[in-house]
Structure 1
């Protein structure tokens, strides 16, 4: 599983999953915080749909953290102000960066896939509920 997909699941999913995985890393390795969790601003880049040109919409708040777990480094970045989640993501990233060791990341990937399935089911239900209220403007008649 790629880092981007793993991070998306951990950010969108149940926070207890990220916390339990990070706690496992803390028990298995000595942890050194290289950069304390801190807030910063990033530019939000978007693509305009008509001409397909990119532009910067503005700035957004993000929180980042960098750690070292054993001999592996990890980086955690999350949109908004969530220092705990940024720290947890950094620990999990460090665990995936390691080659072998006491943590079985394949078992973690099974948990992540299950959480992704739960998130997808929740979103499908939400779309089904909101889809019933959607208006199709192309079928509406216009009076002049």
Structure 2
């Protein structure tokens, strides 16, 4: 699974699962902390489609953590002030890069995909309740 996809799942739908995974397995995979969870601001770059140009929309608060094992680095960057999730995300990134605990992570990611599907279905149903039927309005 691509890192972008798993990070979306963990950060949107699996905060508790990520922190629990970190708490459970942090003693199994040895790591060194490069930088503790640190808050900072990052610029958000957006593409303006009319002229197809990039511009900076504004800043967002992020929490960033870096850990490593030998030469492999794990990076966890999350929106907002959440040191616990940032540390867990960097640990999961490290595990995926090392190829360790793959089965445990795959199990959690499958559950998160189901959670995402259910959320999307429920959200779609809520939105469709407010849909206007224009054919009915002309009668």
TM-score category (smaller protein): 0.7 to 0.9
Distance 2:88 2:34 in 1: 14
Where structure 2 has 5 or more consecutive residues not aligned to the other structure, the ranges are none
1:47 and 2:47 equivalent? yes
Aligned length: 137
Q: Is 1:32 equivalent to 2:32 in the alignment?
A: yes
Gaps of 5+ in 1: none
CA RMSD of aligned residues (A): 2.4
Establish whether residue 104 from structure 1 lines up as the match of residue 111 from structure 2. Answer: no
Partner of 1:10: 10
2:116 maps to which of 106, 119, 137:
119
- 1:66 is matched with 66
Query: Does 43-52 or 116-125 show the bigger shift?
Result: 43-52
| Contact 1:25–1:92 under 8 Å retained in 2 | no
Whether the aligned pair in 2 keeps the contact of 1:46 and 1:55 (CA below 8 Å) is yes
Q: TM-score, normalised by structure 1?
A: 0.81
- After superposing on structure 2, the runs of 4+ consecutive aligned residues of structure 1 that deviate more than 6 Å are none
- Verify the 8 A CA contact 2:95 2:101 in the aligned structure 1: no
Structure 1 residues 48 and 136: CA distance shift in structure 2, 3 A:
farther
Q: Structure 2: how far apart are the matches of 1:123 and 1:98? A: 32
Deviations 1:8-43 (A, max 9, x none): 111011322101221233120233211010111111
Summarize deviations over 1:57-107 as a string: whole Å, max 9, x none. 1111111000124663211001111111000001111111114xxx43133
What SS class does the counterpart of residue 38 from structure 1 fall into? strand
Counterpart secondary structure, 1:27: coil
